Amino acid sequence: MKRSAQRILSLLLAVVLLAAAAPIAGLAGLKADAAEGKKITGYKTGDMISFGSYPQTEVKDEKLAEILNSLPATWISYEYMAGSGSDWDNGTARASDYMKYCDVSYDGETYRGVTFTTYRKWCTNYTSDTSGNSTEQDNNGYYVNNYYWFKYEPLVWRVLDPSSGLVICEKIIDAQPFNNFLTWYDADGDGSRSDIDECFGSINGDYYANNYAESSLRKWLNADFHNLAFNRTDSAKIVATTRENKAWSGAFAIFDSKATTDKVGLLSYGEAQNTSYGFSSNVTREAYSSDYALCQGLDEYSGMAWWWLRSAGSHSGQSAVVSDDGKLGDNANSNLANVGIRPILNLDTSAEFVSAAPPEKPHVDNNNDGVCDDCGKIIDEAKYNSVVSEIILNAPQGDRSFDYKTTLLITATAEKLPAGYKVVICDGDKVIAEGGSSVTAELKKMTKGTTLTSKVVDPFGNTIREQSVNIKVSNGFLDKLVAFFRTIFGRLPVVSI
């Protein structure tokens, strides 16, 4: 009996050890496989599916972050590029270890930690330092010498062509340069930059910096991203696909690069305006970013950002992009590190995939008051409380008595009012006056009492501050008689409070 129990325990231990030895990203990707799905050909253009996993949403729970910080972890350098100057084309970029990551598991979930000692700059040739200049990380709320955690979550893909299994990642999930290295060559020998000059993507100058086939981004997509986002089962469902890599316009065919056969790629300039894929207008190309992409240094505008296409631009040092407002462009410097990534895949049409809801629209706080500008949800309670605590409402309070048929002017003002907030005055539930930081309401020839409430409200009508004054009106026989004679002589009182 004891031997049987020992065998069972040994078997259980072996299972646990095998699970522990599995790659973290692989474990994160196993969850979606258990759900029922259908073949990609059973979906239509614009549908969403869930496939693979990637670090996306930042951990905002301080207790959980504290636990994750305490877990044993091996920190690995991203080996992001940094140069020795401020010229975008000086060719000084070299791999550095200023920014690191680690992956840990806790309570059945997987998280990626990120930390950096100096900022990741817009351009790979710029010097990485702590100044906060030429970087988006601090603008996005990420600062040097801190630790940030991001939860691995299922990737959501939009179906572009069910018949070929073509899908695009619905969110911008990372920020990487088109090419890590870029150096300027003075082709005309005049010592200054001009359109005739050339930019190369290697020290040897053997290919242009906008050459997708030779780019560091192509390598990153098919190695770093692929290996992190997909386990072996997932990878087997991705079809290696040959794609042409022509420049954005035939007028710049000199920048065409050779065709490539890969599992992961990017849209071309032409594909990004293919109406059969659903790209019928600029808004259909707009894309929101993940928190993880923001931490990587993505340049975002109200939650949306630029993202790379694989087509070469109009100059040897420029590549095609989609801007934050969905417009197509051909002139993004190829070594910009603040442009986003939306990978594309061709999935096996015989395999099954699970449907997904569209990703939640990210919260935007341009007012910097801790409240989402779009939905009104409090997204940063500490910031919200700090902003709200500084608002001062000046308005009448208590009980006030007035003669019959007095005209009352009541004024309410607010100090340190954030943008979009306003002051309103209400008579019961009815708003009788509203404005910015100061408003006056008029109650003409009052004959009865009421309660007036002055409020500070946010852009969504939520009350932040309020003060009430009870208005009493003397309306006895003598009061009315006095008012009668005052009316005759035009002497009815007007009072401001």
- Any idea where the domains of the chain sit in the sequence? 19-355, 382-496
**What's the whole-model pTM score?**
0.74
CA distances from 377 to 294, 321, 363, 374, 383 (A): 20, 32, 8, 8, 13
- What does the pLDDT average to over 457-474? 94
User: What is the spatial distance between Cα 79 and Cα 145, in angstroms, rounded to a whole number?
Assistant: 17
CA distances from 343 to 50, 221, 308, 309 (A): 14, 7, 9, 10
Q: How confident is the model at residue 362 (pLDDT cuts 50, 70, 90)?
A: confident
- The residue type found at 90 is N
- What does the pLDDT average to over 298-314? 95
Q: Are 328 and 361 in contact (CB under 8 A)?
A: no
Q: Are 120 and 101 in contact (CB under 8 A)?
A: no
CATH architecture designation of domain 382-496 = Sandwich (2.60)
Cα dihedral 152, 154, 159, 161, rounded to 10, equals: 80
User: What is the spatial distance between Cα 379 and Cα 364, in angstroms, rounded to a whole number?
Assistant: 9
- What does the pLDDT average to over 97-121? 98
Average pLDDT for the chain:
91
- What does the pLDDT average to over 18-26? 41
Compute φ and ψ for 388, nearest 5 degrees.
Answer: -65, -35
CA angle (65, 67, 71) in 5-degree steps? 115
User: What is the spatial distance between Cα 370 and Cα 364, in angstroms, rounded to a whole number?
Assistant: 9
Q: Are 68 and 107 in contact (CB under 8 A)?
A: no
3-state DSSP helix/strand/coil % of the chain, to nearest 5? 20, 35, 45
Q: How confident is the model at residue 336 (pLDDT cuts 50, 70, 90)?
A: very high
Q: Tokens 């600062």, residue?
A: 143
Q: What is the DSSP string of 127-150?
A: PP-SS-TTBSTTTTT--TT--EEE
Q: How confident is the model at residue 369 (pLDDT cuts 50, 70, 90)?
A: confident
- What does the pLDDT average to over 125-130? 95
Name which of 76, 148, 81 is nearest 337 in CA terms.
Answer: 81
- The residue type found at 87 is D
pLDDT digits (tens, 9 = 90+) for 134-151: 999 999 999 999 999 999
pLDDT of residue 35: 60
pLDDT of residue 249: 97
Rg (the chain; Cα; Å): 31
pLDDT digits (tens, 9 = 90+) for 178-203: 999 999 987 767 766 666 679 999 98
Name which of 289, 290, 272 is nearest 281 in CA terms.
Answer: 272
Provide the CA 299 distance to its chain's centre, in angstroms: 9
Q: Cβ neighbours of residue 398 under 8 Å, at least 6 residues apart?
A: 469, 470
pLDDT digits (tens, 9 = 90+) for 418-435: 888 999 999 998 999 999
Name which of 206, 204, 214 is nearest 180 in CA terms.
Answer: 214
Sign of the CA dihedral running 84, 86, 87, 88: positive
Q: How confident is the model at residue 365 (pLDDT cuts 50, 70, 90)?
A: confident
User: What is the spatial distance between Cα 476 and Cα 487, in angstroms, rounded to a whole number?
Assistant: 16
Q: Are 439 and 432 in contact (CB under 8 A)?
A: no
User: What is the spatial distance between Cα 467 and Cα 455, in angstroms, rounded to a whole number?
Assistant: 7
- What does the pLDDT average to over 336-342? 98
Q: Using the 8-state DSSP alphabet, how is residue 358 labeled?
A: P
Q: Are 211 and 312 in contact (CB under 8 A)?
A: yes
pLDDT of residue 376: 82
